[in-house]
Chains A and B, each alone.
Chain A
Amino acid sequence: EIVLTQSPGTLSLSPGERATLSCRASQSVSSSYLAWYQQKPGQAPRLLIYGASSRATGIPDRFSGSGSGTDFTLTISRLEPEDFAVYYCQQYGSSRYTFGQGTKLEIK
């Protein structure tokens, strides 16, 4: 089973700053199979990015995804107050999905 490790565990930034979140896989993942989600307290997850770099419907262009192989990145170019949340990466392989443990993005 592929294990996804996200870093950092917590990221403290201010509105307007740039956020860079990392997701590292224990073995190579097809870019087509890598997604990112945002989850706010008490809410269901929301799909942000699929196929490593494609934004889901309605997602602002300040969110971008990149990477390949074992290293993937979610970048938020300029943080808005509503972006402070927990972010998860997810991969698909061998008919199963796995999530990373999450990165909490908090207001500094």
Chain B
Amino acid sequence: EVQLVESGGGLVQPGGSLRLSCAASGFTFTMYWMHWVRQAPGKGLVWVSRINSDGTRTSYAGSVQGRFTISRDNAKNTLFLQMTSLTADDTAVYYCARDLYGDYAQDSWGQGTLVTVSS
């Protein structure tokens, strides 16, 4: 069974940094591109970032470009999102999601971790 478990969320002050992790199991992690998607309280889904299977190619939403960095450790089956220069607009549940192999969608999702940016 595919499992994605996010961690690292919490309360952070404006301008601060946070690193999220996503532990993957139940599938061959090294084969899959991975994503981060976020959802502000009561709002819709927003795609954040994507990384290819070997970690050499990344892409970002314009709203986080230059502030967030996606990475992965294939030896530990773990996905990361390093977030810096956080603002209140970054407050959201952050989901880790697996790419649908060979297609353009996300077919497995974690339960999310809440990031709150507030003083």
Partners in one complex: yes
Q: Does chain A have a CB within 8 A of B44?
A: yes
Interface residues of A in 23-64 (CB under 8 A from B): 32-33, 35, 37, 39, 43-47, 50-51, 56-57
Cβ-based interface call for A84 (8 A): no
**Which residue of the partner chain, among A1, A32, A45, A46, contacts B104 with CB atoms under 8 Å?**
A32
Query: Within 8 Å CB of A51, what residues of B?
Result: 103-104
Q: Flag if A1 contacts B107 (CB, 8 Å).
A: no
Binds B, one of A14-22, A66-74, A75-83, A89-97: A89-97
Specify which chain A residues have a CB less than 8 angstroms from the CB of B112 in the assembled complex: 44
Q: Pick out which of these stretches binds chain A: B45-53, B67-75, B83-91.
A: B45-53
B positions within 8 Å CB-CB of A: 35, 37, 44-47, 50, 59-62, 95, 100, 103-107, 109-112
A95-B59, A97-B47, A99-B47 as given contacts; A44 in contact with B111, CB under 8 Å = yes
Interface residues on A, range: 20 to 34
Contacts known (A1-B62, A44-B95, A44-B112); A99 close to B44, Cβ less than 8 A: yes
Which of B45, B59, B106, B111 touches A96 (beta carbons < 8 Å)? B59
Closest A-chain residue to B95, C-beta based? A44
Seen from chain A, the residues whose Cβ lies within 8 Å of a Cβ on chain B are 1, 32-33, 35, 37, 39, 43-47, 50-51, 56-57, 88, 90, 92, 95-102
Contact B61 A50 (CB under 8 A): no
Query: Can you report 23 A-B residue pairs in the complex whose CB atoms are below 8 A from each other?
Result: A32-B103, A35-B105, A44-B95, A44-B111, A45-B106, A47-B100, A47-B106, A50-B107, A51-B103, A56-B105, A57-B107, A90-B47, A90-B105, A92-B104, A96-B60, A96-B61, A97-B35, A97-B47, A97-B50, A97-B104, A99-B44, A99-B46, A102-B45
Which of A44, A57, A96 is B47 in contact with, Cβ under 8 Å?
A96
A-B Cβ contacts below 8 A, count: 62
Cα of A99 to Cα of B35 in the assembled complex, Å: 14
> Who on chain B is nearest to A56 by CB?
B107
- Report B-chain residues with C-beta under 8 Å of the C-beta of A100: 44
**Cβ-neighbour of B45 out of A32, A50, A88 (below 8 A):** A88
A33–B59 touching, CB < 8 Å: no
